[in-house]
Amino acid sequence: MKIVLMTGIWPPDVGGPATHGPELARFLVGRGHSVHVVTMADREPTERPCPVETVSRELPFPARYPLVAARGARAARLADVLYASATYAAAAAASVAARRPLVVKLVSDPAYERAVRWGLFAGELEEFQGAPGPAIFVLKRLRTLALRRAGTVVVPSEYLAAIARRWGLDRSRIVTVPNPAPAAALPDPAEPHARTFVFAGRLTRQKALGTAIAAVGLVEGARLVLIGDGPERPKVERLAAGLPGRVELRGALPRAEVLRELSHATAAVISSDWENLPHAAVEALALGVPVVATAVGGVPEVVHDDVNGLLVPPGDPVALAEALRRVADDRGLRDRLAAAAAPSVADLTPDRVYGRIEELLREAAA
Contact status, residue 288 vs residue 298, Cβ threshold 8 Å: no
Tell me the Cα Rg of the chain.
20
pTM flag (> 0.95) = no
Q: Which of 365, 280, 360, 293 is nearest to 327 (CA)?
A: 293
In the chain, the largest separation of any two C-alpha atoms, in whole Å, equals: 60
Q: What is the pLDDT of residue 184?
A: 59
Q: What is the pLDDT of residue 143?
A: 96
Sequential DSSP letters for 123-135:
S-HHHHTT---HH
Element (H, E) at 151: none
Q: What is the DSSP letter of 165?
A: T
Edge-first strand order for the sheet with 223-227 is 247-251, 223-227, 196-200, 267-270, 291-294, 309-312
Cα angle: 104, vertex 205, 84; to 5 degrees: 10
Mean pLDDT for each 10-residue chunk of the chain (366 residues)? 96 87 96 98 94 96 95 97 95 97 95 92 91 95 96 96 94 94 67 90 93 97 95 95 94 89 95 91 94 96 97 97 97 96 93 96 96
Residues ≥6 apart with Cβ < 8 Å to 295: 305, 311, 312, 313, 314
Burial of 42 (0-12, 13-18, 19+ CB in 10 A): exposed
Backbone angles phi, psi at 151, to 5 degrees: -75, -30
Question: Please, what are the domains in the chain?
Answer: 2-180+349-365 (3.40.50.2000), 196-344 (3.40.50.2000)
Coil, strand, or helix at residue 341? helix
The number of beta carbons lying within 10 Å of the beta carbon of residue 61 is: 9
Q: What is the pLDDT of residue 16?
A: 81
